[in-house]
């Protein structure tokens, strides 16, 4: 089972309860929730918030590809995956991403969750603009994407 | 011919609008679009070397939401998106 979506932070929040409802299954003995939040510092600067930009269609396509790739490459029994990423402005502590996974065994959920977040970082078209306490803002440098299928 | 490039991430700073329109020779490839965009940036923001670096490190996506390579050919009124280096999470 798979769910992957971009959430507009001005209209909706990422919900841990929804993620839990989606992945819960009697076939699975392990569930893992990875949550990314906005922290108050980066590169020796005081961060006050982050604006996330997203190419929604490619992001959602990329989530699906990463999920399919993961269950093909890794040995996962009864995988269930729920991914949501926020776009728009989030203040400190705001949830930017949730990756909720369930599977038969604990080793499988750790492996699956880690695989998904690392691939998202490498190739999913989401961008961060950090806002600082001196009222300056900067786009973070990021990783070049040359082929989403690789 | 004219092509439209939708801007994302750091490339949003290239314009007040969320897209750029470039006039390019027909036919043209992604490689030529990148060169054309770099000329445009150099003319509009001669002091800003960072913008050129962003274009160099960016990928492009077509209207079917596929990342396209340098040799990909564009037709008149093609729409592209610029995909600067990414970093979600």
Q: What is the pLDDT of residue A147?
A: 55
B58 pLDDT band (50/70/90 cuts)?
very high
Contact A55 B61 (CB under 8 A): yes
Name the domain count of chain A: 1
Q: What is the pLDDT of residues A86-118, one digit of tens each?
A: 999 999 999 999 999 999 999 999 999 999 999
Q: Is B84 on the interface with A (CB under 8 A)?
A: yes
Cα atoms found within 13 Å of the Cα of residue A62, Cβ hemisphere only: 30
Pairwise CB contact (< 8 Å): B86 & A148: no
Q: What is the CATH number of the domain that holds A29?
A: 3.90.1170.40
Question: Three-state SS for B83?
Answer: strand
- Mean pLDDT within B21-25: 92
Contact B7, B82 (CB under 8 A): yes
User: What does the pLDDT read at residue A105?
Assistant: 97
**B6-21 pLDDT, tens digit each:** 999 999 999 999 999 9
Quick check: A61 and B65 CB within 8 A?
Answer: yes
Please check whether residue A106 lies inside any domain of the structure: yes
Evaluate whether A51 touches A127 at the Cβ level (below 8 Å): no
Strand-pair partners of A5: A84
What residues of chain A lie within 8 A of the CB of B59, using their CB?
Answer: 144-147
- Please check whether residue A143 lies inside any domain of the structure: no
Convert the pLDDT of each residue in A18-67 to its tens digit: 999 999 999 999 999 999 999 999 999 999 999 999 999 999 999 999 99
Residue A130 in domain: yes
Residue A78 lies in a domain: yes
Cis peptide before B27 (omega within 30 of 0): yes
Domain presence at residue A149: no
| Sequential DSSP letters for chain A | -EEEEEEETTT----HHHHHHHH--TT-SEEEEEEEE--SEETTEEEEEEEEEE-HHHHHHHHHHHHHHHHHHS--SS-EEEEEEEEEEEETT-EEEEEEEEESSHHHHHHHHHHHHHHHHHHS-EEEEEEETTS-EEE---B--S-TT-
Chain mean pLDDT for chain B: 94
Per-residue confidence band for A146, with pLDDT thresholds at 50, 70 and 90: confident
Beta-carbon separation of B8 and A146 below 8 A: no
Question: Which residues in A have their CB inside 8 Å of a CB on B?
Answer: 36, 52-55, 57-59, 61, 85, 96-97, 117, 120-128, 139-149
Q: Is residue A147 part of a domain?
A: no
Which ipTM was obtained for this model? 0.94
For residue B59, which phi and psi values (nearest 5 degrees)? -100, 170
Residue A146 lies in a domain: no
Domain range for A111 is: 2-136
């Amino acid at each position: 089972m798979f769910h992957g979506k971009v959430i507009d932070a001005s209209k909706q929040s990422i919900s841990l309860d929804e993620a839990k409802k989606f992945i819960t299954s009697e076939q699975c003995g392990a569930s893992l929730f990875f949550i990314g939040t906005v922290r108050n510092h980066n590169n020796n600067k005081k961060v006050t918030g982050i604006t996330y930009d997203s190419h929604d269609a490619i992001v959602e396509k990329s989530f699906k590809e990463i999920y399919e790739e993961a269950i093909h490459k890794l040995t996962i029994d009864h995988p269930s995956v729920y991914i949501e990423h926020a776009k728009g402005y989030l203040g400190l502590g705001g949830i930017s991403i949730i990756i909720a996974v369930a599977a038969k065994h604990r080793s499988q959920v750790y492996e699956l969750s880690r695989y998904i977040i690392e691939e998202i970082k490498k190739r999913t078209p989401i961008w961060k603009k950090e806002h600082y306490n001196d009222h300056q803002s900067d786009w973070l440098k990021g990783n070049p994407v040359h082929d989403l299928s690789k | 011919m004219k092509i439209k490039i939708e801007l994302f991430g750091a490339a949003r700073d290239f314009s007040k609008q969320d897209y750029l329109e470039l006039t390019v020779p027909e036919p043209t490839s992604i490689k030529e679009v990148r060169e054309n965009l770099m000329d445009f940036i150099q003319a509009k923001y001669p002091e800003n070397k960072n913008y050129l670096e962003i274009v160099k490190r960016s990928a492009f996506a077509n209207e079917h939401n596929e990342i396209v390579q340098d040799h990909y050919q564009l037709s008149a009124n093609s729409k592209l998106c610029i995909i600067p280096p990414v970093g979600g999470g």
